[in-house]
Amino acid sequence: MRNNLKKKVCSLLVATLMTTATFANGFTYGGITVSAEESNVTVQNSGNVEISGEKTYSDINDSTGSGVNTGDVETSTVEITTGEIVETTTDETTMPETTVEPTTEEPTTEEPTTPQPTTVPATTKPASTKVVAWGKNAAGQFVNGNKKVIKGATMKGVDVSYHNGTINWKKVAASDVDYAIIRCGYGDNIKSQDDKKWAENVAGCEKNNIPYGVYIYSYATSVKQAESEANHVLRLIKGHTLNFPIYYDMEDAVQAKLSKSMRTKIANKFLGIIRNAGYECGIYANLNWWNNYLDSSLGGDNTWRTWVAQYNNNGCDYKSNYSMWQSSSTAKVSGISGKVDINFWFGEVRDRSYDITVKKGPSTVNTVATPKPVKAPARVKISSVKVGKKKATVKWKKISSVKGYRIQYSTSKKFTKKTTKSKTTKKTSYTVKNLKNKKTYYDRVRAYKLDANGKKVYSKWTTVKKTTTK
């Protein structure tokens, strides 16, 4: 390849010298400068090709890859392809007077060029399909903390109070939150115990078309206090349209000290007043309370709505039915500073047009006002009292459809508290032991039934029987 190229260059030089005057310093041909200096001939081009006497070629490159572009002047070009130099001839024989430098201008339509590679436009990044805990999957189903589907969940909500500070409800509405449960206050019907952010939070939900319900934190230890707390709620919700139930929050330590029967009475009193006022209502409590502190008659969505708090990534472990689950207290929601409680609703989807004063909702909820009272059993009759040494056995006739009997014995015929003891049995006889010798005792018995709330409904006492031990 090198010898052939040398011959071509020499031939070119000789032909040029024969047709033109002698140049003192050489000439330029098709972008190649040729100079004659004594015995050596040097050829240079813009592609850094240098030939000098017996010197070899090195680094042969064309910056464009398709030849030198000379604008509108057609000249001979040198094309560089895979290490070979190809000579082409132009139609013009006139030599340009100056060297033509390569340019980066677009070639003319008359100049063949190597097609430029096509630029592939960047594609738009697809929307993220990443499943977020407590969010939705690609199918639009809510998932738990382990990103598993929460079966039956239809809406995601938050419950808030003044502890959550000032809330940007516009941002909440733009998030994946569907509804809110707002605390209206705590305890008795006293204005100082209204939630400080109640009015502000209600206004925020109403302005941004967020459906909402209400809860009140209870401190009630008596039926009277439960009534006051119910009136507390009714005072604050007046003039507002609620879309979710009114919940009674039972979890305080003072209530834990009460008997289960008393807690049941308190709950039924509050909820009965709320429902008789025309509102859907229920109870909020943690899983431990639902399992151990509240009577089963209060849960299961049979009479009152059941809202269970259990912070668990897997799901809610409450064995009976429930319509709402509080799954976390450390969630992050746009528009709410810090941590917030999140909940999932398992009923039909509700919006701001849903009015809970109109008795709507799943058929699992009993919307009958108050259960019918249970009729008291018939009066018991004592059939015999057998007295022994330090004991006495009392027998009576059986009463149908009763749950049991209550027997009392006392050293006072008036059955004063200090002198009286009581026992409960399902049998129709009872032996009283550890009595004093030769002591007079008074005995009486009554039967009882249970109402819908598990409360005992008693018959009248029997005629008092007087006995003396041996």
Mean pLDDT of 229-236: 98
Predicted confidence at residue 366, as pLDDT, reads 38
Q: Are residues 159 and 287 in the same domain?
A: yes
Q: Are residues 225 and 322 in the same domain?
A: yes
Predicted confidence at residue 98, as pLDDT, reads 40
Q: Is the pLDDT of residue 106 over 90?
A: no
Predicted confidence at residue 163, as pLDDT, reads 97
Q: Are residues 267 and 399 in the same domain?
A: no
Predicted confidence at residue 95, as pLDDT, reads 44
Q: Are residues 338 and 388 in the same domain?
A: no
Closest Cα partner for 316 from 137, 134, 144? 144
Give per-residue pLDDT as tens, 344-396.
999 999 999 999 986 544 433 333 344 567 889 999 999 999 999 899 999 99
Predicted confidence at residue 303, as pLDDT, reads 85
222 or 62, which is more confident? 222
Mean pLDDT of 112-131: 49
Give the structural domain span for 275.
155-345
Asked which of 345, 366, 393 is the last residue of a domain, the reply is 345
Q: Are residues 313 and 437 in the same domain?
A: no
Q: Are residues 176 and 323 in the same domain?
A: yes
How many degrees, rounded to 5, is the angle at CA 309 between CA 133 and CA 454? 150
Q: How many domains does the chain have?
A: 3
Predicted confidence at residue 403, as pLDDT, reads 92
Closest Cα partner for 405 from 357, 464, 449? 449
Mean pLDDT of 139-163: 96
105 or 305, which is more confident? 305
Q: Are residues 309 and 404 in the same domain?
A: no
Q: Are residues 34 and 169 in the same domain?
A: no
* Predicted model pTM: 0.53
Q: Is the pLDDT of residue 124 over 50?
A: no
Q: Are residues 304 and 220 in the same domain?
A: yes
How many degrees, rounded to 5, is the angle at CA 75 between CA 72 and CA 81? 110
Does 215 map to a domain?
yes
Asked which of 53, 87, 121 is the last residue of a domain, the reply is 87
Q: Are residues 78 and 33 in the same domain?
A: yes
- Residue 432 sits in a domain of what CATH number? 2.60.40.10
Q: Are residues 208 and 311 in the same domain?
A: yes
281 or 37, which is more confident? 281
Q: Which two tokens stand for residue 154?
A: 């239809």
pLDDT range class, residue 55, cuts 50, 70, 90:
very low
Does 312 map to a domain?
yes
Give per-residue pLDDT as tens, 269-294.
999 999 999 999 999 999 999 999 99
Dist. CA 251–CA 248, nearest whole Å: 10
Mean per-residue pLDDT over the chain, rounded: 79
